Amino acid sequence: MVRSNGTGISQFILLGFSEEPALQPLIFGLFLSMYLITVFGNLLIFLAVSSDSHLHTPMYFFLSNLSFVDICFTSTTIPKMLWNIQTQSKFITYEGCISQIYFLVLFAGLDDFLLTVMAFDRFVAICRPLHYTVLMNPRLCGLLVLMSWTMSALNSLVHSLMMLRLSFCRVLEIPHFSCELNLVVRGSCSDTFLNYVTVYVVSGLLGGGPFAGILYSYSKIVSSIRRISSAQGKYKAFSTCASHLSAVALFYCTALGVYLSPADSHSSYSGVTASVMYNVVTPMLNPFIYSLRNKDIKGALKRFIGL
């Protein structure tokens, strides 16, 4: 096996949720169910939007991209966890751990950027309705998605390259079901100061920047809605943002629970629970958030499955 760090450590141990054998079938069944719901729910949204010409609009184009990213995000960690439970093995290779970190950071960043792009789309639709079709043209939409992928890929590449400089003096036991970035960095016997600086500076810029963009967009949206004279008009304008606002709130609340927790809490069940909410529950709920109150999506889904 190729060793990618200077210490010869080729495997890490993912401790997961519990070492109790009796709980393993329950954990396996629960996470398999959530994973299947996430994949099929987001896949249905993606296929419905792709197949229905009525939904070939900027908002649904971004939504289909978000659904695809959510499938990839969950698939980065859950299949490996299920495999480990099934085979009664807790090991993950060093290369596999670095790859998991790369894709986790990539798809988390994409979620963040796509939610920001969707906020910008709602801003243009409500605050510049007469110019919407001109401003949100297919070229700009494609460019915004391409920029999201590029920025996220560069961000995850930086973190992965910073991980490669670390050495590990022992087989690292990770108190988690996946290779969470901060936990792996903390387990290194190298000087990790530069890694932590990179994590907080880069994540602060690429996480705080999009969040500030979302806040700015919605401050303008709220201001525009307040100027609408009729109550029906206000409700109609706000209803176009309700699903996106719910997805944003869910994403950022769970992300803050993971990344702003004290370092010691990562070894506790509370830290793992926050990660489950962030990595599994949020992608699973997004299809329901965007379909339950959306007549266009409901209609497209019915047409797609032939009802």
Domain residue limits, the chain: 11-305
- Give the pLDDT of residue 71: 95
Angle at 60 between CA 57 and CA 62, to 5 degrees: 105
Which of 124, 147, 296 has the alpha carbon at shortest distance from 216?
A: 124
Which of 85, 87, 89, 101 has the alpha carbon at shortest distance from 32?
A: 85
- Give the pLDDT of residue 261: 57
> pLDDT tens digits, the chain, 307 residues: what are they?
344 455 556 788 888 777 777 788 898 999 999 999 999 999 999 988 888 888 888 999 999 999 999 999 999 999 999 998 888 888 898 999 999 999 999 999 999 999 999 999 999 998 888 889 899 999 999 999 999 999 999 999 999 998 888 888 888 888 888 888 888 888 888 888 888 888 888 878 887 888 899 999 999 998 888 887 788 877 877 877 888 888 888 888 887 776 665 544 444 556 677 788 888 888 998 888 887 767 778 777 777 776 5
Please count the other Cβ atoms lying within 10 Å of the Cβ belonging to residue 90. 17
Residue in the block written with tokens 């299949």: 79
Distances (CA, A) of 199 to 147, 159, 205, 295: 21, 7, 10, 41
Which of 5, 75, 130 has the alpha carbon at shortest distance from 283?
A: 75
Residue in the block written with tokens 């793992």: 272
Helix H or strand E segment including 14: strand 11-14
> What is the pTM assigned to this prediction?
0.89
The correct answer on CATH 3.90.1150.10 for the domain covering 11-305 is no
- Order of strands across the sheet with 91-93? 91-93, 11-14, 173-174
- Give the pLDDT of residue 1: 37
Radius of gyration of the chain (CA): 21
- Give the pLDDT of residue 269: 59
- Give the pLDDT of residue 299: 77
- Give the pLDDT of residue 265: 42
Please count the other Cβ atoms lying within 10 Å of the Cβ belonging to residue 36. 12
